[in-house]
Structure 1
Amino acid sequence: ALMLSHLSAIYIHHQLPRLSALCAATTAAMGAAAGMAWLIDGRYDTIAMAISSMIGDVSGMICDGASNSCAMKVSTSASAAWKAVLMALDDTAVTGNEGIVAHNVEQSIANLCSLACRSMQQTDKQIIEIMASKAH
């Protein structure tokens, strides 16, 4: 379960740019959801539903630099991971008809990474500008 968790998170995070506005706690928690789902149920469908629900739930969380708020983001992401696993065990998930979630987990991951790679680049710049203005 631990290995699947790490490999899933690495697989997702590897598709992201080096500097991304997407909070890395969310991708780590997507991996954690995969590991928990495998540990409890072991079925691919359960794992895929948990990851897809995570993408639908926490994909908008931004990284604003390593700060005290990271602990809160980790807590939020961990709670969302457990919720996604419980939903998947109940055979329910965010569906491919909603938001950036697709009808299969691979495409959902691709959609998330595409959003982070392309659309969030301006967000990165804006966050850095805001943080730099506080340094004065």
Structure 2
Amino acid sequence: MSNDLLSKVIINTVAASDARMGGAPVVAMSNFGSGNQGITATMPVVVVAEHLGVDEETLARALSLSHLTAISIHSRYTRLSALCAASTAAMGAAAGMAWLFTRDINTINTAIINMVSDITGMICDGASNSCAMKVSSVVSSAFKAVLMAMQNSCAGANDGIVCADVEQTINNLCRLVINPMTLTDKEIISIMVAK
């Protein structure tokens, strides 16, 4: 792997997630009651902050934005669902990274819309070591979404479930989680129990 910023974001975040899911006796920042979500909302922002050389207050603000964004999204749907919650935690990370790079609300909103367009539908099939692989996917998506947003590139408002408005886009995502994904959750549990 190269030593670019994206690789550093992925390596640091996935290593922390893998250690956590593997039972390593280390402390992790939680988000919405989950250490894995906390790692996903925290590590990408920390890596970008270190790369940019920002001070502690700026890092704290970016982390606050990341965690509050993730909490805001997750609080709109059921606590336990078929949607991989690392994906919504990574939407928070995208907000934090976008803020560090630009301090621009439109870039932050666009990054979240891009993420909803990219990774909606990733399922949760139970806490396991495979979570680290999903974390790799969602933090990669977050970084890509931020880069696209910084170039004023946004998923089209007529594409899939995304809209021009970030709040409506998030609400559409949560509608999927609350309604049809309830059946998905039951089927996942059925498959896991039958093993």
TM-score by shorter chain over 0.5: yes
TM-score by length of 1: 0.97
* Residue 66 of structure 1 pairs with residue 123 of structure 2: no
Corresponding pairs, count: 134
CA distance in structure 1 between the aligned counterparts of 2:157 and 2:134, rounded to whole angstroms? 25
Query: 1:28: how far off?
Result: 0.4
- The equivalent of 1:43 in structure 2 is 104
Q: 2:86 aligns with which of 12, 25, 46?
A: 25
Give how far 1:60 is off: 1.2
Match of 1:82 in 2: 143
Distance in 1 (alpha carbons) for counterparts of 2:131 and 2:161: 24
- Residues 18-53 of structure 1 show CA distances to partners (whole Å, capped at 9, x for unaligned) of 221000110000000000001110111000000000
Structure 1 stretch displaced more, 106-115 or 89-98 = 89-98
* Separation in structure 2 between the aligned mates of residue 97 and residue 13 of structure 1, nearest angstrom: 24
Q: Does residue 10 in structure 1 map to residue 71 in structure 2? A: yes
Amino acid at match of 1:126: E
Larger CA Rg, structure 1 vs 2: 2
Q: What is the one-letter code of the residue matched to 2:164?
A: H
Unpaired segments ≥5 residues, structure 2: 1-61
Distance 2:194 2:69 in 1: 36
Question: Given residue 104 of structure 2, which amino acid in structure 1 is its aligned partner?
Answer: R
Partner in structure 1 of residue 4 of structure 2 = none
- Select 1:96's aligned residue among 149, 157, 162: 157
The residue that corresponds to 2:176 in the other structure is 115
- For the aligned residues, what is the CA RMSD? 0.6
CA offsets 1:46-67 (integer angstroms, 9 cap, x no match):
0000000000001110000001
